[in-house]
Amino acid sequence: MRTSIMKNFLIGLGVGAATGILCAPYSGKKTRERITDTANHGASYCKDRSSTVSDAVMEFIEQGRHFFEHGRDEILRQKLGVTEAFRRGTSAYKQAVN
């Protein structure tokens, strides 16, 4: 069974290669040039896209850092306000008791 599968695979491979050669719209040299051009174009596109994605990620990280710092500063400001209010409340209570 394995022999027949391998035999059929090789026959299919040969038929596919022959069909590709017979039906190729361009000569071998022209086809190789087109493949090279397409590969170069694809590589250039991927490089440009990766740069764009990298820039977007860096901007997103910077915005996150800004929001984090703003939130941290706001929490510290509120903490100081609560501490001051507690101090004043304690002072007012002590004055009222005395």
- Residue 43 counted as domain residue: no
Res 56: pLDDT: 92
As a whole number of angstroms, the distance between CA 38 and CA 33 comes to 8
Residue 92 lies in a domain: yes
Quote the domain boundaries for residue 66: 59-98
**CA 63 – CA 53 distance, rounded (Å):** 15
Query: How does pLDDT run along the chain (98 residues), one tens digit per residue?
Result: 677 888 899 899 888 888 887 787 777 788 888 888 989 998 999 888 888 889 999 999 999 999 999 999 999 999 999 999 999 999 999 898 87
Structurally, the chain folds into a number of domains equal to 1
Annotate 6-58 with DSSP letters as a single string: HHHHHHHHHHHHHHHHHH-SS-HHHHHHHHHHHHHHHHHHHHHHHHHHHHHHH
- Residue 59 confidence (pLDDT): 95
1: which DSSP letter?
A: -
The reported pLDDT for the residue numbered 66 is 96
For the entire predicted model, the pTM comes to 0.47
Q: Using the 8-state DSSP alphabet, how is residue 96 labeled? A: H
